[in-house]
Amino acid sequence: MVENQYNIGMSIFSKNSILITGGAGFFGRAAVKALLDTDVTKIVIYSRDESKQFNLRNSLPHDERLRFFIGDIRDESRLRLALNGIDLVIHAAALKQVDTGEYNPMEFVKTNVLGSQNLIESSIAAGVKKVIALSTDKASSPINLYGATKLTADKLFIAANNYSYSRGTVFSIVRFGNVAGSTGSVIPYFLEQFKKGKALTVTDKRMTRFWITKHQSIKFTLESLQQMNGGELFVPKIPSMKILDLVQAICPNSDVQEMGIRPGEKLHEEMIASDDSIRSVELLDKYIINPVSAQWDYKIPEGKTLEEGFAYRSNTNLNWVDFHEISEFISTYRVP
């Protein structure tokens, strides 16, 4: 059961149905497998990639609760059909490659912004109870198109509570960095270079990133879905890592070639900007960024007020992942 695997209460899923956008992606696949161990009545995997859906279906045990919907979040009419009878939504669908977004900005806007608006309006129309959307550290003080579209999507989801709360549909956000080893992350890239006997390439040796595993990201998202009242932006307390530590864990004493920071790339990532910290509170295992403006019955969570000027950045984080932990993760890593 998920209660044992993730050590969290899952009462919210009992007798409820759930839809996951991007449900055949890296995060979605893991979420589906976790939710199969709850009392959820139906799990709808909504994504546009039939090959990924086919592979996921073949990797899962037969379960009558599973439904596979081919569809794009850009297609509002398809979304409305898929959301019929749905109680809960995890929104994981997005275009995510930073450099791709710089060259194809309108496509990112169509999916990450307009697609999010479609999901918001369709969820309200369908009477969904709770929608939680996945954000990214790149949405905090964004310098690239991807981050800007995700920040816009965050604003859309939070502001949606202004006109959906009274109708019984609430929206919240979870924000974390790239999941270690996920599709498009640097770990598969480094491992491929290592297998080919090539020197490992980094954009800048000083680079730091937040570190979160697939297990942690699923646990945090499901916990947040359970706890949300609508309007919260949940940020987990997670460690940072140095890019050179990751390189050494994959290939000790390897040659490292520095390529230079790519367009739209940051040297260090950020999950809470100093301007947002004045609206944030600290809890034991997380931070919560409160809405800029809440015209609904929003109750500020109890927690510690952050110091003026606080910012949650990967290079100033007080918590750092242990090198041995990275090495252990690499030793058991499987290509997603």
Q: Which of 8, 25, 70, 62 is nearest to 44 (CA)?
A: 70
**Helices and strands of the chain, counted as H and E runs:** 13, 16
61 C-beta neighbours (distance < 10 Å), count: 7
Contact 128, 169 (CB under 8 A): yes
φ, ψ at 203 (rounded to 5°): -75, -35
163 C-beta neighbours (distance < 10 Å), count: 13
The contacts found for 193-201 with CB under 8 angstroms, 24 or more apart, are 194/250, 194/251, 194/254, 199/254, 199/255, 199/256, 199/257, 200/247, 200/250, 200/251, 200/254, 200/255, 200/256, 200/257, 201/256, 201/257, 201/258, 201/259
Q: Which one of 52, 96, 130, 138 is the catalytic residue?
A: 138
Amino acid at 65: R
280: its two tokens: 């944030």
237 annotated active-site: no
**Residue numbers annotated as active site:** 138
